Amino acid sequence: MNPLIPTVFSADPSAHVWPGDDRIWLYASHDEPGTNTHDTMQSYHVFSSDDMTNWTDHGRVLHLDQVSWASSHMWAIDAAYRDGVYYLVYCAVESATGMFRTGLATSDQPQGPFTDIGFIEGVEWGQDPALFIDDDSTPYLFWGAGGHCSACRLTDDLRAAVPETIVDLTPQLKWVFEGPFVHKYNGKYYLSYPGLFEDKWPEHMYYATADHPLGPYTFGGEYIPVFSGQAGTNHGSIIEYKGQWYAFHHSMWVSHMSECRSLMCDYLTYNADGSIQPIYPCTIGVFNLKTGSDKGTVTILLDASVADRTGGKFSGTHPATQRDGYTGHGYCTGFDRNEKGVTVLIQSCIDRLGRLSIRYCAPDGDVRMKVMLNHVLLAPAGASERLFTLPQCNDWQEIELCTLALKAGDNALRFYCGDGGLDVDYFQVSEA
């Protein structure tokens, strides 16, 4: 189904399948609802799926406020896994110089949240980065914007470019403008990128091939022509998942505004000679790998234990890991006074309804809690009292609480007013 994720404005999807993991993971930039400029981009989201149509939105995983060296313009990203660490490689404007830098952030779990560790040294104007780890574990970085594309090998810790390996790929990539991504197929390296045919907008998606990550590259052609409802930009990734190849990219099919984009996915097919057949995006998109349906869902899953790192905050509560069986980084505990609670950020691209569930454990007895959305106290369906009862349970269980009326943009969900004996694993918002 296209758009793939119609619930939040996202662009520049970087798709990956990690070792030992059966899910496909998408790392994407975030567009603010209602904006008319890309200058408002300040954060990133992570999505995952095990069937290509039903997706989990893991929420905001890195924000400009968490990057001390940057001042603005958190644009396209990529991700990589190496030696037990998940890397988010992104770009932002450096405060000290006004130059685009390539930032690096890490996490011990694929869904983040990610912690910035600085920008990659030796890479100037490092916009739209792509981090490719070859089969021998050698790391390569690609970046480009404004009609240029460069690449290099990175040091083993990924923190700096190896100076003598920096190469300008621009002359090899016909009509290149920005946004490189590299994948491997049948021993060949494929560099895909958005380009401007004869310097005219909007962007087409092109590719080139090489026998080495740093080239030389041979132009291969166009694989996504300009299509109806395309944003001025396009940007994406190519990946194999469970024996099928897919092309991820973006459009403006939800907003009809070029600056408020939505993620897309279409099947990708190679010819016998390794060339890529042109893709013509349609609303059907891709099918569910398990059922064959083209219909899908998006569920927001917010780990309560990292609320303070994903746009929310703890109010007297705190994360813990002592109780077994949690699903993310831990759980939130300490609901032992009326005012203590936790706030999580829910982002939506349009006004819509969602069903709120919570996974919790309350071994000491029933617990009564308040739920507040955007400063408004909610009440259980059919009840006049604005208190929700969570039944006693000795182990983790999930319970649906209420329907949320989400607004376009940022929504603050506060869960509070405890009397002790409660641990919260996650909050979940499903389609109503």
Catalogue the active-site residues.
12, 178
| Spatial separation of the C-alpha atoms in residues 165 and 156, rounded to whole Å | 14
| Spatial separation of the C-alpha atoms in residues 252 and 203, rounded to whole Å | 13
Positive or negative: CA dihedral 317, 318, 321, 326: positive
Positive or negative: CA dihedral 389, 390, 393, 397: positive
| Spatial separation of the C-alpha atoms in residues 285 and 383, rounded to whole Å | 42
| Spatial separation of the C-alpha atoms in residues 215 and 208, rounded to whole Å | 10
Q: How many Å is the Cα radius of gyration of the chain?
A: 22
The SS3 of residue 102 is: strand
Region of 84 (left: φ > 0; alpha: ψ -120 to 50; beta: rest) is left
| Spatial separation of the C-alpha atoms in residues 207 and 245, rounded to whole Å | 15
- Phi then psi for residue 233, to 5 deg, are -90, 165
| Spatial separation of the C-alpha atoms in residues 26 and 15, rounded to whole Å | 5
Specify whether the CB–CB gap between 143 and 104 falls below 8 A: no
Specify whether the CB–CB gap between 242 and 206 falls below 8 A: no
| Spatial separation of the C-alpha atoms in residues 281 and 227, rounded to whole Å | 7
Specify whether the CB–CB gap between 45 and 28 falls below 8 A: yes
| Spatial separation of the C-alpha atoms in residues 246 and 361, rounded to whole Å | 40
| Strands 218-224 vs 204-210: parallel, antiparallel or unpaired | antiparallel
For tokens 């259980």, what's the residue?
Answer: 380
For tokens 């990529």, what's the residue?
Answer: 78
| Spatial separation of the C-alpha atoms in residues 128 and 100, rounded to whole Å | 9
CA separation (Å) from 86 to 17, 107, 184?
12, 5, 20
The SS3 of residue 198 is: helix
Kind plus residue range of the DSSP H or E element containing 11: strand 10-16
